[in-house]
């Protein structure tokens, strides 16, 4: 039997007994629904009265970009939790619901133990990788594995900067910095509502943090991450380029890592990355290990897997960088919602 989770009570026992990530939780469901005005479905395969398998999905609709179903939209990770025997039932349900109207199903990687099942039923593509830092050996050994030049930069940064959690009272300052940085990256920003919901559903429930670097009381960089079970998972890093000489990104990354070590976390996940990018080198220097992050596709109306053309991507980035800030803030959240990113 298939059922959609509607309350925290429906999923509580399952989460206590099964390996899962934050996007399988009811708090995360509320966070995404409030941020994007969408329906975040926690589809479950039921045996008797017991939840056996869960897949979170979002129906991403856009007249210009096409309709699709993604697990998990608005995050680089997705996938099943629980018993792999329920995978087929949930996939059959999704095809019955969306095959005639939507382009494809995408299941983003992140959960271990389902690769063989998904590879036998869907098309696997290794589009991204991720860097993960093992914190289990303690702060001293973690510090020692960091590249020497990076350790030197951290020490220099902490002589000039204060690193602390960014309170909700400074949300507007953070969002202003974030939007300017996203324009410099050539990437559409999330809405202010996204971060309001992050505080309300994630931070206030002890499931995430925003660390910031401050120079003479001014917020000059910020690092956003989930903190759930044994894992810190970084989402967003932004900084004011005018203060780059103080190395604020290094200061806040180390402070977040140090906090994670002190609070019993075992993994510090830097998030997905493409080899050859500037972020690839930055994340590698922290002593982290590179792991594959595959995606799985089931094509319905679409005739091919929707992979971004690097040439077109570079052109779009250049165009975005030239747009006025108010325009990027206006249309950026719409693009994010329509792309499912």
Span 127-149, pLDDT tens digits: 889 999 999 989 999 999 999 99
Q: Average pLDDT for residues 58-78, to the nearest whole number?
A: 92
**Whole-number pLDDT of residue 47:** 86
How does residue 306 score in pLDDT terms, banded at 50, 70 and 90? confident
**Whole-number pLDDT of residue 280:** 86
How does residue 1 score in pLDDT terms, banded at 50, 70 and 90? low
Q: Return d(Cα 261, Cα 156) in angstroms, integer.
A: 21
Computed on alpha carbons and rounded to an integer, the radius of gyration of the chain in Å comes to 20
Residue 312 has pLDDT above 60, yes or no: no
Q: Return d(Cα 121, Cα 16) in angstroms, integer.
A: 28
Residue 324 has pLDDT above 70, yes or no: yes
How does residue 178 score in pLDDT terms, banded at 50, 70 and 90? very high
Residue 2 has pLDDT above 80, yes or no: no
Q: Return d(Cα 212, Cα 18) in angstroms, integer.
A: 33
Residue 150 has pLDDT above 90, yes or no: yes
**Whole-number pLDDT of residue 308:** 60
Residue 309 has pLDDT above 70, yes or no: no
CA-nearest of 149, 191, 128 to 286 is 149
Least confident piece of the model among 7-21, 156-170, 209-223, 290-304: 7-21
Residue 235 has pLDDT above 80, yes or no: yes
Q: Return d(Cα 254, Cα 144) in angstroms, integer.
A: 12
Q: What tens digit of pLDDT does each residue of 35-47 get?
A: 999 999 999 998 8
**Whole-number pLDDT of residue 10:** 78
Q: Return d(Cα 99, Cα 302) in angstroms, integer.
A: 10
Q: Average pLDDT for residues 232-251, to the nearest whole number?
A: 96
Q: Average pLDDT for residues 33-59, to the nearest whole number?
A: 93
Mean pLDDT over all residues of the chain? 92
CA-nearest of 122, 158, 124, 142 to 255 is 158
Q: Return d(Cα 232, Cα 332) in angstroms, integer.
A: 27
Q: What is the DSSP letter of 110?
A: B
How does residue 179 score in pLDDT terms, banded at 50, 70 and 90? very high
Q: Return d(Cα 257, Cα 55) in angstroms, integer.
A: 30
> At 218, is the secondary structure helix, strand, or coil?
strand
Higher pLDDT, 102 or 313: 102
How does residue 54 score in pLDDT terms, banded at 50, 70 and 90? very high
Q: Average pLDDT for residues 52-59, to the nearest whole number?
A: 96
Q: Average pLDDT for residues 104-114, to the nearest whole number?
A: 90
Q: Return d(Cα 51, Cα 316) in angstroms, integer.
A: 44
> At 156, is the secondary structure helix, strand, or coil?
helix
Higher pLDDT, 322 or 230: 230
Higher pLDDT, 284 or 200: 200
Contacts of 24 (CB under 8 A, 6+ apart): 11, 15, 42, 54, 56, 81
Q: Return d(Cα 56, Cα 29) in angstroms, integer.
A: 9
**Whole-number pLDDT of residue 337:** 93
How does residue 205 score in pLDDT terms, banded at 50, 70 and 90? very high
């Amino acid at each position: 039997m298939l059922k959609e989770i509607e309350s925290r009570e429906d999923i509580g026992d399952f989460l206590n007994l099964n390996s899962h990530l934050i996007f399988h939780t009811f708090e995360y469901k509320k966070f995404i629904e409030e941020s994007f005005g969408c329906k975040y479905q926690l589809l479950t395969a039921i045996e008797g009265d017991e939840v056996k398998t869960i897949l979170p999905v979002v129906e991403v609709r856009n007249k210009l970009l096409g309709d699709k179903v993604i697990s998990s939209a608005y995050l680089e990770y997705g996938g099943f939790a629980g018993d792999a025997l329920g995978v087929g039932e949930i996939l059959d349900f999704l095809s019955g619901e969306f095959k005639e109207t939507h382009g494809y199903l995408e299941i983003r990687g992140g959960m271990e133990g389902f690769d063989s099942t998904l590879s036998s039923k869907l098309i696997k593509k290794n589009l991204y990788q991720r860097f993960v830092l093992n914190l289990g050996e303690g702060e001293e050994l973690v510090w020692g594995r960091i590249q020497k030049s990076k350790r030197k930069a951290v020490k220099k940064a902490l002589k000039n900067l204060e690193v602390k959690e960014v309170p909700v009272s400074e949300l507007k300052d953070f969002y202003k910095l974030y939007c300017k940085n996203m324009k410099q990256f050539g990437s559409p920003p999330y809405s202010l509502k996204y971060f309001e919901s992050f505080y309300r559903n994630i931070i206030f429930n002890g499931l995430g943090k925003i660390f910031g670097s401050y120079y003479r009381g001014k917020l000059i960089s910020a690092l956003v991450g989930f903190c759930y079970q044994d894992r810190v998972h970084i989402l967003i890093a932004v900084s004011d380029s005018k203060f780059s000489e103080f190395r604020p990104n290094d200061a806040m990354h180390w402070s977040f890592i140090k906090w994670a070590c002190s609070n019993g976390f075992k993994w510090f996940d830097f998030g997905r990355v493409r080899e050859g990018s500037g972020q690839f080198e930055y994340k590698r220097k922290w002593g982290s290990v590179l792991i594959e992050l595959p995606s799985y596709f089931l094509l319905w109306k679409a005739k091919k897997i929707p992979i971004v053309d690097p040439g077109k991507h570079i052109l779009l980035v250049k165009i975005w960088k030239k747009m006025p800030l108010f325009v990027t803030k206006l249309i950026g959240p719409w693009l994010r919602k329509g792309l499912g990113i």
